[in-house]
Amino acid sequence: MQRDESTVRYERVDSDYFEARRLRKYARVGSLWALGVGAVISGDFFGWNFGLASGGFGGLFIATGIITVLFTCLCFSIAEMSPALPHTGGAYSFARSAMGPWGGYITGLAENMEYVLTPAVIVVGIGGYLQAIFETPEAYAPLWWGLTYAVFVGLNTKGVETAFRFTVGITLVALAILVVFWIGAIPHFDFARYALNIEPDAGASRWLPFGARGIFAALPFAIWFYLAIEQLPLAAEEAHDPRRDMPRGILLGLLTLVVCAFLTLILSAGIAPGAAALGTSPDPLFDGFKTIFGDGIGSRLLAGLAVAGLVASFHSIIFAYGRQIYSLSRAGYFPRWLSKTHAQRETPHVALVVGAVIGYAVALAIWWFGSGSAVGAILLNLAVFGAVISYVLQMLSFILLRVRMPHIERPYVSPLGIPGAVIAMAIAGLTLVALFVADPVYQGVAVAAAVWYALGILYFALYGRHRLVFSPEEAFARDHGRDETGAS
């Protein structure tokens, strides 16, 4: 992709423009670790389990291994790019410097789909747990969703200090709940009886009840164990020392999530009610707690605490989409009014509210049109569609930055280099294909996501590309870029 800037137009803005769009520095490595782990930890509480229905235990286990390789390669590459380009734009910032305005927008649009829809997936999970705990009718689900959005968008607008303190606290609580579950599950563990209780297709084994097709079909759900760890670069302008702390936060977060993913998958599937029932459960950890503690006040109390895992991710990804929308709109790719920050709290309150409205509206539309029982899985596939496109483009950006900008300072250098980025691209591309062909139920979902993506590109082609602003991401690309001949 050529870094062609001749098809866009930049407009001059005065100093008041950026003064009305200020962010406050606060985060250090501990806060960044919590933001990364907190953004993903809900994947251990809800979402991954749908992969059991698609691939059986063996299919999901192998798919999780493949996705672990993807995120290892992805995170090492991002750990190199983020301190070298320490801007709020994240994926858009990387692609903007590597591939020009069009490449930056296309990458940012994919990431935007991921971060706006991922909280919608999580809020459905929160609603499922709260319905189970309080035994409310299914018709009340959208009320739980709306209440949850209102509370945590409000919390995110209070200021970056409040947001990060809550992130650290709720992430530690979520991890503690998982530890209680893992320890409690061990005495009940019977791998052959529970993890392999899905009836296999003719000629298939209980380990792989749907054969190799099951591995392929489980890939989008295995991503849920890691999806959104890559959001950390969005906090770069609110970190005290992103060049030092960002790589540490990303890689420590990844290590934590790898341990959580495999312990949760193996121990959850290896106790009652087993893989067959968990594959369609809206609250899989609650089912596990009922096995460990019985269907009484103890399990309900722990299930209530288990909502902390979903809340941690919900809160953290609200932070992420707020900064992502803020960055793209500050540069003019999205409408500029979305990037205004609160005068005293210096939080992107407009972007936070608008992102919540879009996510809630999509979830409600799916629920209204008769897909109430599958709304979480449908939203998950929509979010994964945007994520894997973003991963492919970020890895392409990594490769191009190595080739086109070898001169920029890189405080951290990925030991996996370009081969690691190529591996991540290949697995992400395979997962994108899986969305379209592995399960006919979700083919329409992927097509709908593709339409959304196409409409976003149309907006930029007709309007957005004529109203860009030299934000920090744009200025860095201009000042450090090279033309196609290689001259500075």
Which of 386, 466, 389 lies closest to 424, judged by CA? 389
Task: For residues 210-238, give the mean pLDDT.
Answer: 91
Residue 21 maps to a domain: no
Is residue 22 situated within a structural domain?
no
Q: pTM here?
A: 0.90
Average pLDDT value for residue range 26-33: 89
Whether 354 maps to a domain, the answer reads yes
B/e letters for 403-434, b = 16+ CB within 10 Å, e = fewer, are ebbeeeebbbebebbeebbbbbbebbeebbeb
Task: Say what the pLDDT of residue 353 is.
Answer: 97
- Domain-located, residue 307: yes
Q: Is 396 helix (H, G, I), strand (E, B) or coil?
A: helix
Report the alpha-carbon distance of residue 196 to residue 81 in Å, rounded: 42
Dump pLDDT digits (tens) for 295-314: 777 667 776 777 888 899 99
Q: Which domain holds residue 474?
A: 27-479
In a domain, 87, yes or no: yes
Element (H, E) at 82: helix 50-84
In a domain, 485, yes or no: no
pLDDT, tens only, 406-426: 999 999 999 999 999 999 999
Q: Which two tokens stand for residue 300?
A: 């309900």
Q: Which amino acid is at 256?
A: T
The total number of structural domains that make up the chain: 1
Mean pLDDT along residues 267-276: 95
Does residue 487 fall inside a structural domain? no
The two counts, helices (H) then strands (E), for the chain are: 16, 0
Beta bridge partners of 10: 468
CATH number at residue 48: 1.20.1740.10
In angstroms, the CA 273 to CA 290 distance is: 9
In the prediction, which pLDDT does 483 show?
Answer: 35
The larger pLDDT score, comparing residue 50 to residue 371, is at: 50
Q: Which two tokens stand for residue 178?
A: 């998982």
Task: Name beta bridge partners: 239.
Answer: 27
Residue 16 domain-assigned (yes or no): no
